[in-house]
Amino acid sequence: MRSLPEPGQLQECFPLADLIPSPRRTPRPEYLSAEEYASLGLKCGVEVHQQLLTAGKLFCRCPARRYSTDHHASVLRHMRPTLSELGEYDGTALMEFKTKKNIVYMLNRETVCTYEMDDTPPFPMDQRALQIAIEIALILRCRMVSEIHIARKQYLDGSIPTGFQRTSIVGVEGAVPFGDRVIRIIQLGLEEDACREVSDRGHWRHYRTDRLGMPLIETVTYPELFTPWEAVWFGQVHRLLLRSTGKVRRGIGAARQDVNVSIAGGRRVEIKGVERIPLWGPLIHYEAMRQKGLLTLKDELTRRARPADWLTSTSRIEPAAASGLLPPEWDDGHPMAAVALPAFRGLLSWPLGGNRTFASELSDRVRVVACIDQPPNLIHSDVEPNAWRELRDATRAGEEDALVLLSGDGDDLVTACREVRDRCLEAWDGVPSETRQVAPDGTTRFERILPGPDRMYPDTDLPPMEIPPERIEAVRNQLPPSPWELASRFHAAGLSTRTSGYLARRRDAGALGRVLLDDGRDLSECLIQSFLPMWDAGGGRDERTSRRVLSAADDGVISPKVMPDLFTLLASRPCDDPLTLAREHGLAMLPPEEIKTVVVEEKAEGDDDGLFIRVMRRLGSRAQADTVLDILEDLGVAP
């Protein structure tokens, strides 16, 4: 059994910055210092979802990752909340139910069967996917479970037609080496991927089902990352570890991350579905700023009023009463309502980082829960306060009230007014637990209330599945070398830490390690400089020929410089002897006698001063400088 380096020894083992350059070298202008983030109490954890390289999906036999742009049929569904195993309703589930979405699934014949439509029960779990998940759980040093229990994790947004994701835990309490410490892993799960959202307008949401059901692993870390750049760096380390298996998918959307952020006094907020690791940085920063803003808003609000005494009033508004205020987009005849928010005057424009204010929070809720999603979906009296004089009078709003004006269809308008009130009440509490989605400008928008363990329910369609200890040991014995181990071995063989780090983080690091290290040779920067062009030009696909060329260089048959040329020849004539082939094409090193002949000839041609240069120029890569110098010394010439 191969042992991974102990996390504590990793700093001595190999410097992380040489394996993956630290993102701190290119900080973003908006970032605070590490000390400032520390004084905010910033903590982040991540949930990384990574698609596995399997031919088929996890619970049916459809092909994986065959994405389509057309569809052949559609199914309409609605989602209702149900109870968790412990008998609780999940808050998110209830919120999604309030939105009353019509969810349409677009079906493509090639990529879905009746399983994805939720019209056929699941088939047994794909064993290849489980095998990869076991391998990764071991790489992440998790405590392996003995039996997999498939759970249903409720998603009422419709992203999965069943209304739940089939998910399972393979290992818990792992650790990823991270410089001189480790980042602890809460769990490594194996689960099915969800649909791809096509559109979400008003009460209609459309999904493509091709991605649905693909096997994913989910790594969940503890919140042990304390600056935006540290999180990014960790993300890259984790990605490198997963990719070192060669069994995970790459490309757009193959890995998607959720980033959990909180500051002291705030709450955990989950930013969902980030597709690029470098984006984590600004997202974390802006979320920290938003939470900071919400906490200062809370203090201000607490000074002004108590939630127990706080009552909003809502009035129907005729267009005439609000003339001059109404945005042109509202010229659609929908009814309007004004909500007066006592004590909120000036607080709706409270800054929350980037271009966001507290009014953005209200607007988000109205968009998501009331489905009034065409901007601007509300206007408020903190912008151009003087223009609101008339409406203030008409609604009998107090001097310290803020006014919010909304427009929408009957039921939606009622929901919107209620959501505005509810979100304002939450402001006394500071930061609501929620999931947020990424906006194009790098800030985030409310997506839904953060779900808890109450949305978990055992899957009664499939029995528990044992992972016998022998199976775990068999996988453990076949684990690929870790990037750290590879880098250390390259370094020990004679390469600089930077070159070693570069080779170990390459996608083909495993093969490079086999070819370069397995024969126990010393490596030099010079050898690698000649080797890599050969490797990239085809050597990586033909390890046997690469090895033969390398050993020809080891034996002094050829100069490392001509490795790419010899590789080309040898790859097309694999039966030939490398030495014969090299000689035939003038690539081989000359024997000392022949070199001596050349030296004697050149000596006769001119003076001794330029003799060495002339000989080397004539022989090129067919002779080593050392050999030529020895012969010159023997002849009594000292250049």
What residue ranges bind other proteins (CB under 8 A)?
71-87, 89, 93, 104, 114, 117-121, 143-149, 151-154, 156, 161-164, 167-169, 172-173, 186-187, 189, 220, 452-458, 460, 463-464, 466, 469
Closer by beta carbon to other proteins, 98 or else 514: 98
Q: Is the separation of the CB atoms in 420 and 414 below 8 Å?
A: no
Closer by beta carbon to other proteins, 260 or else 291: 260
The least CB distance from residue 226 to other proteins, in Å, is 23
Closer by beta carbon to other proteins, 149 or else 585: 149
The least CB distance from residue 450 to other proteins, in Å, is 13
Q: How do 378-380 and 43-51 pair as beta strands?
A: unpaired
CA torsion sign, 419 to 423 to 426 to 432? positive
Please provide residue 428's backbone torsions phi and psi, each rounded to the nearest 5 degrees.
Answer: -70, -20
The least CB distance from residue 340 to other proteins, in Å, is 31
Closer by beta carbon to other proteins, 237 or else 462: 462
Element (H, E) at 198: strand 196-201
Q: Is the separation of the CB atoms in 558 and 589 below 8 Å?
A: yes
The least CB distance from residue 163 to other proteins, in Å, is 3
The least CB distance from residue 172 to other proteins, in Å, is 7
The least CB distance from residue 127 to other proteins, in Å, is 18
Closer by beta carbon to other proteins, 141 or else 298: 141
CB atoms within 10 A of CB 304: 15
Q: Is the separation of the CB atoms in 490 and 187 below 8 Å?
A: no
Closer by beta carbon to other proteins, 161 or else 281: 161
Closer by beta carbon to other proteins, 96 or else 447: 96
Give the closest residue to 610 by CA, choosing from 592, 635, 637: 637
Q: Is the separation of the CB atoms in 133 and 124 below 8 Å?
A: no
Closer by beta carbon to other proteins, 469 or else 620: 469
**DSSP per residue, 455-482:** GEEE-TTS--EE--HHHHHHHHHTPPPP
The least CB distance from residue 374 to other proteins, in Å, is 25
Task: Tell me how far CA of residue 585 lies from CA of 2, 353, 572, 580, 617, in angstroms.
Answer: 44, 68, 14, 9, 18
Closer by beta carbon to other proteins, 93 or else 176: 93
Terminal C-alpha separation, the chain: 56
The least CB distance from residue 19 to other proteins, in Å, is 27
The least CB distance from residue 479 to other proteins, in Å, is 17
Token pair, residue 438, equals 């990424």
The least CB distance from residue 471 to other proteins, in Å, is 12
Give the closest residue to 436 by CA, choosing from 587, 228, 240, 288: 288
Residues 6+ apart with CB under 8 A from 191: 58, 153, 165, 166, 167, 168, 215, 216, 217, 218
Measured between alpha carbons, how far is 227 from 285 in angstroms, rounded to an integer? 8
Closer by beta carbon to other proteins, 143 or else 396: 143
Measured between alpha carbons, how far is 23 from 16 in angstroms, rounded to an integer? 12
Task: Tell me how far CA of residue 586 lies from CA of 242, 467, 578, 612, 616, in angstroms.
Answer: 45, 59, 12, 21, 15
The least CB distance from residue 478 to other proteins, in Å, is 19
Q: Is the separation of the CB atoms in 425 and 73 below 8 Å?
A: no
Closer by beta carbon to other proteins, 80 or else 303: 80
Region at 273 (left for phi over 0; alpha for psi -120 to 50; beta for the rest): left
